[in-house]
Amino acid sequence: MPTSNEYFNVPLRHVAIGEPNEFRHPGTMKAVVAEFISTLIFVFAGSGSGMAYNKLTGNAPGSPAGLISAAIAHAFGLFVAVSVAANISGGHVNPAVTFGLFVGGNISLIRGVLYIIAQLLGSVIACLLLSFCTGWTLAPAFALTEGLSVWSALVFEIVMTFGLVYTVYATAVDPKKGEIGIVAPIAIGFIVGANILAGGAFTGASMNPAVAFGPALIGWAWAHHWVYWVGPIIGGGLAGVVYEVFFISHTHEPLPDF
């Protein structure tokens, strides 16, 4: 039986910086490319759905139909993006997921930084492609709804991202999860779709700094952009620590290689 101190120290003992040769390791490079492509696929589908809806409705204000279409597009897109990268990189497709897995000791710092760079580049290229394909229309940047305070928005992003990363841990990381095949990508896609229905009308429900970064950079729209980094990073980190501390670390079972 582990002591009370062990419950809270085990996750930190797993955290690793990584080796310098990870930059040149073929497996790392394949994983980084997979993260780039998967994030590109996800952002192209998710942001593209928003642009298509705006075109069909004449840039009408947000509506229930638009919210539902965004939730469906992001849920489907993330299901595919996670599925196609799961066996190569783990299918993070999100800096907040990568950070949550890092604090839980499931990925090294070096590999995590490379993943995040690839995710950001994937988002930027997706937004550039969308702009080119639509006559240089800009992908809609994330923004707070009128009257919502930045602190309320921050809590929204923290809670939604916590739910997302907690789902990742429960369905894809936990060594007790068993062989569940496509259940993990489906669950991850569903929680993102559900969170968009819950928070999309307030913050846009990013839950993903890369998804927010691409449109912000291409459209040079940085208002309250920090919320879409700080909120998801805090939420993802909390989910990683909570799941590791209470459900994985004190089982003394080996962790999967992410």
Residue 200: inside a domain: yes
Rounded distance between C-alpha atoms, residue 200 and residue 107, angstroms: 30
Q: How far apart are the first and last CA of the chain?
A: 27
Rg (CA), the chain: 18
Sign of CA dihedral 142, 120, 36, 239: negative
Residue 258: inside a domain: no
Residue 237: inside a domain: yes
CB 122 within 8 A of CB 32: no
pLDDT in tens, the chain (258 residues): 444 444 444 555 577 776 777 767 778 899 999 999 999 999 999 999 999 988 888 766 568 888 999 999 999 999 999 999 999 999 999 999 999 999 999 999 999 999 999 999 999 999 999 999 999 999 999 999 999 999 999 999 999 999 999 999 999 998 877 665 678 999 999 999 999 999 999 999 999 999 999 999 999 999 999 999 999 999 999 999 999 999 986 444 444 444
CB 240 within 8 A of CB 194: no
Residue 230: inside a domain: yes
pTM value is: 0.89
pLDDT at 197: 96
Residue 198: inside a domain: yes
pLDDT at 239: 97
- Report the length, in residues, of the chain: 258
User: Among residues 137, 140, 121, 132, which one has the least CA distance to residue 210?
Assistant: 121
pLDDT at 18: 66
Residue 96: φ, ψ to 5°: -70, -35
Residue 257: inside a domain: no
pLDDT at 11: 55
pLDDT at 154: 98
Task: List the domain range (segments joined by +) for residue 44.
Answer: 4-251
**Which ranges of the chain would DSSP assign to H, the alpha helix?**
4-14, 26-56, 64-85, 95-103, 109-133, 150-168, 183-199, 209-219, 227-243
Rounded distance between C-alpha atoms, residue 191 and residue 214, angstroms: 22
pLDDT digits (tens, 9 = 90+) for 101-144: 999 999 999 999 999 999 999 999 999 999 999 999 999 999 99
Q: What is the DSSP letter of 136?
A: S
pLDDT at 249: 65
Q: Say how many domains are in the chain.
A: 1
CATH of the domain at 218: 1.20.1080.10
Residue 23: inside a domain: yes
